[in-house]
Amino acid sequence: MRDKQVLHPESQGESSRRMVGIIGATGMVGRRMASLLLNHPRFELGMVVGSDSRTDQSYRAVWEEKEKALRRHYGEFWHEYPFPEALDDMRLSSFEDLLCSDCAIVFSSLPDRAGVLEDKLICNGKQVFSNSPHQRFSPDVALVVPEVNGHELGQTKLIKNPNCVSSGLLLVLAPLHARYGIREVVVTTYQSLSGRGDAKYPPDLVVANVYPLHRSSEGTEQYVRMEVGRILGESLPVSVTCNRICAQEGHFVEVRVKTKQPVGSASEVEDLLANFDPLGNLGLHSSPKKPIVIVQETGRPRPMQDAYHHGGMAIAVGNVSVEDEVFDLRLTYVVNNLVRGAAGGVLLNAELWEANVAAESAEKSDNAAYARP
């Protein structure tokens, strides 16, 4: 991360909150994004947009309809995510209303097929922070995990975060690569059903089952391989195998690494990861106290117990070992796919961008004042 003067959000006052909109607000990630914006010190939710057919419907009604549909589909183990009472008066706006609104910042959780709407927002001068795969690998688009390559936010109007697996994986790989150098990585995922969103899987494929995603329509394996190199800034051999499991929220991921430099011990790695905190002094609202939590208990981390550290913005790492006959290091982690891996990742990118904009504005004002006779 570049050293930069950053104004702490909490010090800037309520009047400086920026009005924001959410497009894709009725989807699972959009719903979580709306809940994360409640009482936010820097952003105020002004508009929620779904599909054209939903325009002017009650946000509560659509939200609760979708949550009930998921519970009916998957069964009793599925828990409905409650609608926030503070949003009770909100109704769904049209895309055209959003284009003409005072919402200068838009958070997007659109599916790839609807990504062209992001292009229209940008053409209308909106700053877009997006979880959508649309244009994720375009060289003109910033693809950012703030703790890893936050300096690349730059001046682009479209800023993306990577897919949910990579959002956690890169938090692990960045400090390992800086300390030991990485020669190759093998990743195996056991991803929760909420990663599919409201689209749903046929229950017989996933309930009390494991569903391999290789050769499916989901591109997670390819995404992870491409995102690791793009965000680390160095091409690495990465082997990825992805599976769905019967869990509601939180992805469990196994990581095996061959390093360039010898790894001293498991405790050395645990200390390295536990102390990885590049954003610690910036005071960003969504930034966890520590992005990586080390869990020592046998049988941890697990999705149900470990997807919610620091509100879901920290990943949980365990099972660190240097006693493998093939790899120099192996570990497992759990990442909250809806928070750190999606909605929270979007929000943290926006907070870092906004803080940098505020710092640059303050620096220009200081320079102008100094230049006056």
pLDDT at 56 over 80: yes
Per cent of the chain over pLDDT 70 is 92
- Is 246 a residue of the active site? no
Residue-level pLDDT at 90: 97
Q: At the topology level of CATH, where does 9-163+341-368 sit? A: Rossmann fold (3.40.50)
* CA distance linking residue 147 with residue 28, whole number of Å: 25
- Residue 366's pLDDT is 53
State the DSSP code for 341.
I
Of the residues 40, 134, 177, 251, which is catalytic?
A: 251
Contact in structure between 269 and 322 (CB atoms under 8 Å): yes
Confidence of residue 85 (pLDDT cuts 50, 70, 90): very high
Q: Residues of CATH 3.30.360.10 domain(s) within the chain?
A: 164-338
Quick one: which H or E segment has residue 164? helix 164-180
350 sits in which H/E element:
helix 344-371
User: Given 103, 134, 164, 177, which residue is catalytic?
Assistant: 164
Q: Where in the chain is the domain with CATH 3.40.50.720?
A: 9-163+341-368
Annotated catalytic residue 310: no
Those residues whose C-beta lies under 8 Å from the C-beta of residue 110, and which sit 6 or more positions away, are 23, 24, 117, 118, 130, 132, 134
Nearest to 77 by CA among 248, 259, 233: 248
Name the one residue in this structure whose structure tokens are 């660190």. 320
Say whether the peptide bond before residue 301 is cis (omega within 30 degrees of 0): yes
Residue 205: per-residue pLDDT: 93
pLDDT of residue 362: 53
* CA atoms of 224 and 228, how far apart (whole Å): 6
Contacts of 56 (CB under 8 A, 6+ apart): 91, 92, 93, 94
- For the CA atoms of 284, 286, 289, 292, the dihedral, rounded to the nearest 10 degrees, stands at -120
Kindly state the percentage of the chain with pLDDT values over 90.
Answer: 88
CATH number of 164-338, picked from 3.40.50.720, 3.40.50.300, 3.30.360.10, 3.40.630.10: 3.30.360.10
- Nearest Cα neighbor of 273 from 255, 286, 285 is 255
Q: In what order do the strands lie in the sheet with 92-93?
A: 92-93, 43-49, 18-23, 105-108, 127-130, 158-160, 142-143
Judge whether residue 7 has pLDDT over 60: no
| Average pLDDT, integer, range 243-270 | 98
Residue 197 Ramachandran class (φ > 0 left, ψ -120 to 50 alpha, else beta)? left
Q: How far apart are CA 185 and CA 254, in angstroms?
A: 10
Region 98-104: mean pLDDT is 95
Return the DSSP state at 145.
Answer: -
Mean pLDDT for 21-30 is 97
Query: In the predicted model, is pLDDT for residue 154 greater than 90?
Result: no
Cα gap 111→133, rounded to integer Å: 7
